[in-house]
Each structure stands twice: as structure tokens, then as C-alpha cells.
Amino acid sequence: MGFEVLWNWLLHDNKMTLYIGREASKLWKRISAETTTEINLLLDNWKYLLAGLIFQYIHGLAARGVHYLHRPGPTLKDLGFFLLPELGQDKAYISETVFTFIFLSFFLWTFHPFIFKSKKIYTVLVWCRVLAFLVASQTLRIITFYSTQLPGPNYHCREGSKLARLPKPDSVLEVLLINFPRGVIYGCGDLIFSSHMIFTLVFVLTYQKYGTQRCIKQFAWLVAIIQSLLIVASRKHYTVDVVVAWYTVNLVVFFLDKKLPELPDRTSGSSLLLLPLSTKDKDSRSKEENQKLLNGNSVDPADWRPRTQINGKILEDANENHVNTAMNGA
């Protein structure tokens, strides 16, 4: 009896080892193939990514520069300050923790094609799009806080704080270094537009379009609302800063999304065939298909398969089967 149990255990353990080895091999092949594809895309789009990253530094430099112009004063009357209880200086970390969770969650999601089988996006192309949204929104933000300087409501920006006013810099290098990250965390004067809400809304809107899990989309919007309330309750921004961010970022994403080329659909077919095509390639492919039809030859059946992407949007998993059934019936 004991020998039979031991034999069954060894047999089961051997099967598990083979299964784990087989899955690890599949995962490694998936990662290798995805890495090759993304490197090719990176070689074609590195200029856009680099420009977007450089502008993040320019945005930080602009926020550092307006801090030298900041003059503390009485906190402005604010409806949000009246309605929301003040968290206090010792609980200011709460909103930063929520923002860090949002940032890391979105960052990891953009790299999910390297691990999971359901490949809906290309990491490089998504980040090109995200950085374009951020650059446009941050440009408007820089214009607003240099147009009008307001006394900051944050605790370190009030009268009596040593950080409320920056002493005149001794050199240009002192300004260019922006004292990261302390200079960013303890900045003053960059108001009329919440930087945290720019990132939050761009990330949520991007997942809203290219994500697949409806429950996560709803949760993301809920977290964005909570983040808005926490920013005001922490007295990091006035309520108007959050309100301006909500409608401006949505407008920026809406108009830019129509101008930028749509991401290729990779829900069917080979990923190499779904890379962005130039206008010349598209025209030549259309002529080739038309020539096949005129000669009585059928076009590649893969081109007639139903797509799960409609109007540039990835459908949620909950609706995908329903749409496929309806299209097959039609």
C-alpha cells in the first residue's frame, strides 16, 4: 500500500515537472517573439519616445522655474476645502500612494503582451500614444501656471515655511538639476492644473480604449475619482486645478486620438502582418487584392475573419463572444 502511494506520488510529480517545463518553454518563446517585434517597433519609433521623455524633464524644469516666482499668501476660498475634511500634513502620503498604485499598474499592463497570450496592444506604440497625450496636456499646464501665479495651498507653500520661497539660484546648473525628486515633491506655484490628474486620466482613458476587462475599467474610473478627492483633501491643489484637468485632458485625448494613426489590431493573424503599414504598402496591397478578384481568385480567407476591434476600440471579453456570434449569423 505504501509503495503504491509512493509510486503514484512520483508519477504525479513527474507529470507536473513535464508540464512546468513545457509551459516555461512556451513562455520563453512568447517572450522572445514579443521582444523581437517590440525591438523592431522601437527602432522605428525611438524618436517619438525620446522626445516624450525629454519633455517630461522640460515639464519638471518649468515647474522648478515657477517655484522661484512663487510668493506665499492667504489660501484662496475653495468649495472643495469647505466640503472635504482636511487630511492633515501627516496623511499627505495617502494621495501619493494611490497615484503610485495607478502609475505602476498601468506601466505593468503595457508590458503584458510579453507574458500573456491575449496580445491586444504593442507596448512601444501604446507608449508613443500616451506620451503624446502627456506632452499636449503638460504644455497647456505650463502655459496656465506661468500666466497666473497663485499662492499654493499645500502646507510647505504657506507663509512661514522655508520651502515656500526659493532663494535666488547661484548658477544655471542649480536650476537645470531641478533637485529631483525633492524639488518635484515640494514644488509650489504650478497650479491651475493638477499634474497627478493628467497622468491618472491619460492612463485611465488609454486603458478604457485598449483594455479588455470591463470591471477593471470601472474600477479605474472609481480610483480616478478617489484620487481627485484626495488631492483636494490633502490641500495639494485647489478644486479648480482638478476640475480643469478633468475636462482638459479628456478634450486633449479626444482630439489627438482622432489625429494619431490607429493602433494595429493584433487580435487575429500573425503579429508581423499587423505592424503599421505605410500608405504605399496599403495601396499596393489593395491593388493586389483587387487583381485577385478580377482574375477569379479568392482573397486570403484570413482577411475575411471577423475582427473583435471596432472603430479602433478593443471590445471587452464579456462582449466578444456575443459580437462574434452576431457577425457569424449575419
CA separation for the pair 14, 235 (Å, rounded): 59
Residue type, 195: S
Cell numbers at residue 51, please? 522626445
Q: Could you tell me if residue 161 is left (phi over 0), alpha (psi between -120 and 50 degrees) or otherwise beta?
A: beta
Rounded distance between C-alpha atoms, residue 9 and residue 217, angstroms: 44
Closest to 209 in 3D by CA, of 126, 134, 111, 277 = 126
Record the cell numbers describing residue 168, joined without a space.
535666488
HSE-CB for 32 with a 13 A CA cutoff: 6
Active-site amino acid positions: 196, 237, 241
Report the C-alpha gap between 117 and 120 in whole angstroms: 9
CB proximity list for 307: less than 8 A, separation 6 or greater: 265, 267, 268
Cα of 181 vs its chain's centroid, Å: 21
Nearest to 196 by CA among 98, 114, 289: 98
DSSP code string of 221-242: HHHHHHHHHHHHHTTSS-HHHH
Residue 295 is inside which H or E element, if any?
none
Is 160 within 8 Å of 77 (Cβ atoms)? no
Q: For residue 177, report the phi and psi dihedrals to the nearest 5 degrees.
A: -75, -20
